[in-house]
Structure 1
Amino acid sequence: MPDRVLLLGGTAEARLLADELSSEYDVVSSLAGRVSELRLPVGESRQGGFGGVAGLTQWLAEQGIDAVVDATHPFAATMTAHAVAATTALNLPLLVLRRPGWQEQPGDTWHWTPDAQAAATLLPKLGRRVFLTIGRQGLAAFADTGLWTLARCVDPPDPVPTWCELLLDRGPYNVAGELELLQTRQIDVLVTKNSGGDMTAAKLTAARQLGIPVVLIERPPLPPGIQVAHTTAEVQAWLADRTG
């Protein structure tokens, strides 16, 4: 009987990994369910939370899970912390899949900040028309900047903010489209999280070409001692090594 693997997903890498592992493992993908139109992976999946560390620990034990792969978003720090605690309690192997972060290139003007509040404090020094691409969580930190703001989200926040203009859209995006958006809205500063990956990187290329400064929010640190992979191939090798 194939090993049973819990894949904490919601990212493009998680969907790809579910497809790659489906022929050799009994994979269950878990999705947070925070967007209205989820892109479901191949195979068995579940939606919603587990009920904290205790709920996840109980679920892992009841489902007979043999290994856990955390392929959540790089900013899903709470889920990762819960996965660490639950797998430690059950002595289960855990691997975190994290896509590489974006790297500054010649022509970029990047400003790194530790969190959304620090980014909001910095903004008035950099521009007057802001393009926020941090998702709907954390928008409130920018409510009092006094700057004209365009916020792009997949789904509208609840409650819907009145201090900014909302643009509801989902990637992947291309450079031509991002250039047009930045120019037509007269954006002069971009704010984003260091999510990494190709789906939303076009905005950085567009900002570089237009000479627009970018404020990047750093990723939360991973818990110490956690094994990390950067590609799906590394995950497959890790699982193969564990199962012989």
Structure 2
Amino acid sequence: MKVLLLAGTSEAKKIAWGLVGQGVNAVASLAGATRDPEPLPLPTRVGGFGGADGFAAFLAEAGITAVIDATHPFAARITNRTAAICAARSVPYVQVLRPPWQAGKGDTWTEIATPQDAASIIPPTATVFLATGRQTLNQFAGLEGRRVICRQIDPPTAPFPFEGGEFVISRPPFSVTREEELFLALGVDWLVVKNAGGKASATKLTAARNLGIPVAMIARPAMPDAARVETPAQALAWVAAL
């Protein structure tokens, strides 16, 4: 057996260490979205596969017999492609998908379907904090005219794609206190978040609740009809059962 771990999340790191602990022959793959990612304890390739044909060729050439998809919940293109190719080639596949966040007492959330929908609910005079990463930044162009702040891990290599935007560069984890201090210092009126789920990255939502900041919550994309687990332990049990 040889397992391919599609990584890039905190769950993937735990799975990687678990595979090592179990003595499983495995390799990891990172999309390359972050310039200096934390190293994994598995042989790791970085970058795309060259589309569906390239991914299928990699599975065959590397002798992959099972795939664990622990990519981000919003990596829909990767997830749907991977699930479809694995199904067509009878390669066992499982998606590791953490539960989505749920609004609680004191939260003021408005769920939206796409980044473009944010402009329809956020006032034109607002200061907006985008905790959505840089890859979909151009999809928020409808927010032009507002003060828009985008947080990302790496320094930008290109200017903000529309007027009124600025970057904040910092690397997680972020405590609730740190998030509150940042939001107050910037005068944030609205927070825009993808519903990625997870405890570590929920601190911004707690900070928004404590400060009375409304949240535009982007709903998750559709997921493939495939095997799915929620935790690293469940993913490792899936591997052990193969």
Shared fold (TM-score, shorter chain, > 0.5)? yes
Q: Is the 8 A contact 1:32 1:49 kept in 2?
A: yes
- 1:222-241 per-residue CA deviation (whole Å, 9 max, x = no partner) reads 01x21110001111111111
| Equivalent residue number for residue 237 of structure 1 | 237
Provide the rounded CA distance (Å) in 2 between the counterparts of 1:160 and 1:75: 24
Shift of 1:158: 4.6
Where has structure 1 moved over 2 Å in runs of 4 or more?
Answer: 141-145, 155-159
Shift of 1:116: 0.3
Q: Is the 8 A contact 1:143 1:163 kept in 2?
A: no
Moved more, 107-116 or 139-148: 139-148
| Equivalent residue number for residue 195 of structure 1 | 196
Q: Is the 8 A contact 2:146 2:164 kept in 1?
A: no
Letter in 2 for 1:7: L
Shift of 1:38: 1.1
Provide the rounded CA distance (Å) in 2 between the counterparts of 1:144 and 1:20: 43
- 1:71-104 per-residue CA deviation (whole Å, 9 max, x = no partner) reads 0000111111221122122110100001111111
TM-score normalised by the chain length of structure 1: 0.93
Q: How many residues align?
A: 238
- Structure 2 unaligned residues grouped into runs of 5+: none
- Equivalent positions of 1:11-160 (< 5 A) are 11-23=9-21, 24-124=23-123, 128-145=126-143, 146-160=145-159
Provide the rounded CA distance (Å) in 2 between the counterparts of 1:152 and 1:43: 29
Percent identity between the two aligned chains: 43
Provide the rounded CA distance (Å) in 2 between the counterparts of 1:216 and 1:25: 38
- 1:153-201 per-residue CA deviation (whole Å, 9 max, x = no partner) reads 1124553215311101111100111111111111111101111112321
Give SS of 2:107's match: coil
Provide the rounded CA distance (Å) in 2 between the counterparts of 1:150 and 1:82: 32
Give SS of 1:205's match: helix
Letter in 2 for 1:171: P
Letter in 2 for 1:12: S
Give SS of 1:239's match: helix
Letter in 2 for 1:73: H
- Structure 1 unaligned residues grouped into runs of 5+: none
Q: Is the 8 A contact 2:108 2:213 kept in 1?
A: yes
Shift of 1:33: 1.0
- 1:102-124 per-residue CA deviation (whole Å, 9 max, x = no partner) reads 11110000000011001232212
Provide the rounded CA distance (Å) in 2 between the counterparts of 1:31 and 1:92: 20
Give SS of 2:32's match: coil
Provide the rounded CA distance (Å) in 2 between the counterparts of 1:192 and 1:84: 26
TM-score normalised by the chain length of structure 2: 0.94
Q: Is the 8 A contact 1:120 1:141 kept in 2?
A: no
